[in-house]
Every structure is written in C-alpha cells, then in structure tokens.
C-alpha cells in the first residue's frame, strides 16, 4: 500500500490537467516524472478519477515504452542505439556498462537503486555519436572507457 502522500500528489497532478480520458497520458507522464516510475496503484487510482476502466488504463500504460511499473534508479542511463550511434559502435559501450554495473538484458536496475541502464533509439545528437543520456543530460562521443568513468564519478558523488 502506498501512503497517503502519493495520492495527494496524484490529485495535484490531475488538477493540472483536465479530468477526462484524453488526459490519461500526460497525467501518468507527470506521475512517472515525479517518482521515476508509475506505481500500479496510482494508475488504478487515475483510471477511477478519469472514469475509464483499469484494464483500459493498463493497456495504454503498457503500450508505451516510456512507462515503467518498476522503480527505476536515481540515474537513468540511456545508451543511444540509433543508426548513427550504432554505426559508430555503441554496442561495446552497452556491454561495458552491463559489466561495470552488474546488469544484463533482463536486469535493468542496480540493487542499490542508483542506476538503471536502458537503450534508446535516437537522442537526436547523431552529430556527436555515440551518445548517451543520463537523466536529461546528453553526453557526447562516448567510448566504453569514458562511459565507465562517468558511472564511477556518479558513484563517488553518491558515496560522499
């Protein structure tokens, strides 16, 4: 069970939009931005408020890749595997970070909830391929070594 503050926050988010079915996607986007994931309880709650069935709301939320029902790490690392990045060798960067973070294709988030590793199809920074994004910041011209260094740096900042 989520505590009361989650529902209060959700009410505040709904109030920013019109309370009708068309607002479902923007509302759950805002919830996800707040908590870094979409708690299923809140999805049901929003469905009730907007007057749509839970199954409908779930079908929408599960359709779009951006929504996650599982908690994500504090740092969400998105490695771009768009065409330009792919051609300029983004795959070895992914491999290296899997290794550094102890993650795999099946396990996306570290146990300490610090890092989530994902791929993304294009960040629009093709001129600086290969690129990766940590939360909202794009890092250009990455190599396996520089990616590992960046992760190490973030880890150090956290342990201070």
Partner 1 sequence: MIGTRDELLQSRAAAESKLNSYDCRILVCSGTGCIATGSRKIYEIFRELTQNAPQTTLEFAPHEGETKQVGVKNTGCQGVCELGPLVRIQKGNSVIQYIKVQPDDCSEIFEKSVIGDEIVERLLYHVDEKPCKGPEDIPFIAKQTRIVLKNCGKYDAQSLEEYLASGGFAALEKAMFELTPEQVIDEVDASGLRGRGGGGFPAGRKWKQVAGQKVTERYVVCNGDEGDPGAFMDGSVMEGDPYRMIEGMMIAAYAVKAQNGYIYVRAEYPNSVARLTKAIHILEENGLLGDNILGTDFCFHMHINRGAGAFVCGEGSALTASIEGKRGMPRTKPPRTVDKGLWERPTVLNNVETFANVPDIVMKGAKWFRTIGTEGSPGTKTFSLTGSIRNTGLIEVPMGTTLREIIYEIGGGLKDDAVFKAVQTGGPSGGCLTTEHLDEPLDFDSIKKFGSIVGSGGLVVMDENTCMVEVARFFMSFTQRESCGKCVPCREGTKRMLEILERIVAGKGVPEDMDELLELADTIQNTALCGLGKSAPKPVVSTLRHFRDEYEAHIIEKRCPAGVCSGLKQYIIDPEKCKGCSKCAKNCPAGAISGEIRSPYVIDQSKCLKCGACLDNCAFNAIDVK
Q: How far is the CB of 6 from partner 1 (least distance, A)?
A: 21
Residue 4 or residue 65: which is nearer to partner 1 going by CB? 65
In the list 6, 35, 39, 126, the residue contacting partner 1 (rule: CB under 8 A) is 126
Residue 114 or residue 120: which is nearer to partner 1 going by CB? 120
Residue 131 interacting with partner 1 (CB under 8 A): yes
Collapsed DSSP state (helix, strand, coil) of residue 35: helix
Residue 1 or residue 32: which is nearer to partner 1 going by CB? 32
Closest CA to 127 of 75, 78, 77, 80: 80
In the list 6, 9, 29, 154, the residue contacting partner 1 (rule: CB under 8 A) is 29
CA distance 33 to 118: 16
Q: How far is the CB of 156 from partner 1 (least distance, A)?
A: 21
Residue 84 interacting with partner 1 (CB under 8 A): yes
Task: Sketch the per residue contact string, 106 through 125, with partner 1: x for CB under 8 A, - otherwise.
Answer: --------------xxxxxx
CA distance 102 to 81: 20
Full 3-state SS string of 36-100: CCCCHHHHHHHHHHHCCCHHHHHHHHHHCCCCCCCCCCCEEEEEECCHHHHHCCCHHHHHHHHHH
Q: How far is the CB of 69 from partner 1 (least distance, A)?
A: 14
Residue 56 or residue 112: which is nearer to partner 1 going by CB? 56
Specify the DSSP element, H or E, that contains 18: none
The 137-139 sheet, strands edge to edge: 115-120, 75-80, 132-134, 137-139
Binding piece for partner 1, criterion CB under 8 A, among 1-9, 83-91, 106-114, 151-159: 83-91
Residue 77 interacting with partner 1 (CB under 8 A): no
């Amino acid at each position: 069970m989520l505590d009361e503050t989650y529902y209060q926050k959700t009410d505040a988010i709904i109030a920013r939009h019109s309370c009708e079915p068309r607002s479902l996607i923007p509302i759950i986007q805002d919830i996800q931005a707040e908590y870094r994931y979409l708690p299923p309880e809140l999805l049901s709650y929003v469905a009730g408020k907007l007057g749509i069935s839970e199954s409908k709301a779930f079908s929408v939320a599960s359709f779009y890749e951006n929504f996650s029902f599982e908690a994500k790490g504090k740092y969400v690392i998105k490695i771009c595997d768009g065409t330009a990045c792919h051609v300029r060798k983004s795959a070895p960067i992914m491999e290296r970070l899997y290794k550094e973070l102890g993650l795999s294709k099946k396990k996306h988030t570290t146990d300490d909830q610090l890092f989530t590793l994902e791929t993304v199809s294009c960040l629009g920074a093709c001129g600086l391929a290969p690129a990766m994004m940590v939360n909202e910041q794009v890092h250009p011209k990455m190599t396996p070594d520089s990616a590992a260094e960046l992760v190490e740096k973030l880890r150090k900042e956290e342990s201070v």
